[in-house]
Amino acid sequence: MSQAATPLETAHGYSPPSVTQFSIFLHNKVGKLHDLVEVFELRHAELAAISVNEASDHAVVRIIPTKAALARRVLDDSGLAYTMRDVLVVELSGNHTLSSMCLSLLRAELSIHFAYPLMSRAAHCPTIALAVDDLTLAGQILRRKDFRLLGEADLSEPV
C-alpha cells in the first residue's frame, strides 16, 4: 500500500536555488585586489559579484563567480586562503523590493548576516546576495512571496 507524502516530508526535501560565495583573505596592500581580479580574468572566470570588507592589516573579499568549480580551481592554483558558503541570490523587481524582502525575513525572525548587490549582466533586474541564518527557510519564505531566486546557471549570460 502506497502512502502519500505528508506536507512535512515535502517541505523537508526542499532546497532553494543558491550560489557559492567565496570569501578570500588578502593582506591589505596596494594592488592586491587588482591582482585577485586579474587572476580571474586571465583564467576567463567571470565574477557576478564582489564585496570588499577592509580592516587595518587585511581585507576579506567576497565573490560570487558564474562558475564555482572554475573559481575554486583558480583559487587553489593561486594559493590564496578562502572559505566557501552558499548564499541566496534574490531578484528585486516590481513589488518585490528590498524593503519587502527584508520584512518577509524579519517576520520569520531570520537574521541577514550580510548582503551585497550583484553586477551580473545576465540579471535583467537588480539582484542581491544574502547570507541568512537558515537558507532553506529563507528560500521557502521568499518563494511563497513570489520572489525569484537565482541559481548558478542564472548568473551567466545566455550564449
The answer on pLDDT for 149 being more than 50 is yes
Q: How far apart are CA 20 and CA 60, in angstroms?
A: 16
Specify the residue for cell string 594559493: 79
Mean pLDDT over all residues of the chain? Answer: 88
pLDDT tens-digit map of 2-38: 444 444 444 556 789 999 999 999 988 889 999 999 9
In order of start, what are the domains of the chain with their CATH numbers?
19-85 (3.30.2130.10), 86-154 (3.30.2130.10)
pTM: 0.85
